[in-house]
Amino acid sequence: MDIAALHAFVEVADLGSFSAAAEALYLTQPAVSKRVAQLESELDTRLFDRIGRRVALTAAGEILLPRARNLINDAREIKRVVADLSGDVRGRLVMGTSHHIGLHRLPQPLKRYTERYPDVELDIRFMDSEAACRAVETGDLELAIVTLPPAPPPNLQMLTIWDDPLAFMVASDHPLAGRGPVTLDELLEHPAVLPGSTTYTRAILEQAVRSAGAELRVGMATNYLETLHMLVATGLGWSLLPATVLDDQVRVIAVEGMRLSRRLGVVTHRRRSLSNAGSEMIRTCREDAAGNSVELP
């Protein structure tokens, strides 16, 4: 069974569109259609229902999809293992990271990595940490450098690279700005703008607030921490943000009994080997962590 045809099938299934799959694979739409048609002919069954511009998996397509992913991942694994026998650091490294980590933690490690290993083709995909962990589980990513989940799935392996202190932040003209330590109840009297309800950072805050016997009152939520920083600076509410975004537009407030942090690091699959390129990416990030730390003022 042709791996290229399976890859085209998976991309169409994931994106719900032949044209989007063609763009993702750097192919023409007729080329993608031909590969899928070849697969359907070989299996003697239709894999997609095409209704106008909509594309949906048939029952046969639903059954094939997870098996196709496994075959594609196995093929990648074979290539990786054979290529790594030479000990060279080369080939393609498909990794995921969040926009925040990409902006605040990865610039220097990536600079050193590309200087050391020019023969590695980096394919960096920016996504929420939660989505990146799922992509490592399914084999779509070799590794992810993300906010580590408080309760990791059993198939995933975690390695902490950076401790990431979190701080309660408000606008400079907020009623709580410039005060000494405030109680949690005082903080919760004011509206909050917080990370989305499905994020690991929100889970850390909710657990701490529940443990204190209180309840959050959320005004707005978004997964983008830089957007949250802007909303806080505008005066729309307080938030819990990484210390790395602290600047002169916002103020840190101390909340009694609340010193929260999260862990940033590498997520890999327990049952899949790392390529030489992946192993060296982790080593380079650990070097950065050894020489840099972030502390609250």
Please say which residue of 29, 57, 81 terminates a domain. Answer: 81
Q: Which amino acid is at 25?
A: L
pLDDT tens-place string over residues 59-79: 999 999 999 988 888 887 787
Q: Please report whether residue 297 resides in a domain.
A: no
Q: Please report whether residue 156 resides in a domain.
A: no
User: What are the C-alpha distances in Å from 192 to residues 171, 186, 205, 214, 220?
Assistant: 12, 12, 12, 14, 7
The secondary structure element, H or E, covering residue 73 is helix 59-84
Q: Please report whether residue 77 resides in a domain.
A: yes
Q: Per DSSP, what are the bridge partners of residue 197?
A: none
Q: Please report whether residue 184 resides in a domain.
A: yes
Domain identity same for 242 and 283: no
CA atoms of 60 and 147, how far apart (whole Å): 36
Domain identity same for 135 and 275: yes
Q: Please report whether residue 172 resides in a domain.
A: yes
C-alpha count within 13 angstroms, C-beta hemisphere, residue 113: 24
Please say which residue of 81, 96, 124 terminates a domain. Answer: 81
pLDDT score of 296 more than 60: no
Domain identity same for 285 and 239: no
Residue from 109, 110, 10, 101 nearest 64 by CA = 10
pLDDT tens-place string over residues 209-229: 999 999 888 878 888 888 999
Q: Please report whether residue 153 resides in a domain.
A: no
CATH number (domain holding residue 106): 3.40.190.10
Give pLDDT, residue 72: 86
pLDDT tens-place string over residues 74-124: 887 787 777 767 677 888 899 999 999 999 899 999 999 999 999 999 999
Domain identity same for 72 and 120: no
User: In which residue are the tokens 């192993």 written?
Assistant: 279
Q: Please report whether residue 140 resides in a domain.
A: yes
Beta strands 91-97; 143-147: pairing state: parallel
CA atoms of 3 and 5, how far apart (whole Å): 5
Domain identity same for 178 and 255: yes
Domain identity same for 55 and 98: no
Domain identity same for 13 and 65: yes
E-only strand ranges, 155-238: 156-171, 192-194, 218-221
Domain identity same for 101 and 63: no
DSSP secondary structure string, 50-65? EETTEEEE-HHHHHHH
pLDDT tens-place string over residues 236-291: 999 999 998 899 999 999 999 999 999 999 999 998 888 999 999 999 999 988 76
The whole-model pTM stands at 0.73
pLDDT score of 51 more than 90: no
pLDDT tens-place string over residues 154-204: 999 999 999 999 999 999 999 999 888 999 999 999 999 999 888 889 999
pLDDT score of 37 more than 90: yes
CATH number (domain holding residue 248): 3.40.190.290
Domain identity same for 276 and 258: no
Domain identity same for 13 and 40: yes
Please say which residue of 39, 57, 81 terminates a domain. Answer: 81
User: What are the C-alpha distances in Å from 140 to residues 88, 100, 130, 155, 256?
Assistant: 23, 21, 14, 14, 43
Domain identity same for 140 and 177: no
Q: Please report whether residue 187 resides in a domain.
A: yes
CATH number (domain holding residue 70): 1.10.10.10
pLDDT tens-place string over residues 127-147: 999 999 999 998 889 999 999
Triad 247, 250, 254: Cα angle to 5°: 105
Domain identity same for 16 and 76: yes
> Is-contact 226 163, C-beta < 8 A?
no
Give pLDDT, residue 297: 56
- What pLDDT band is residue 293 in, cutting at 50, 70 and 90? low
- In total, how many domains does the chain have? 3
Print the domain residue range for 286. Answer: 86-148+271-291
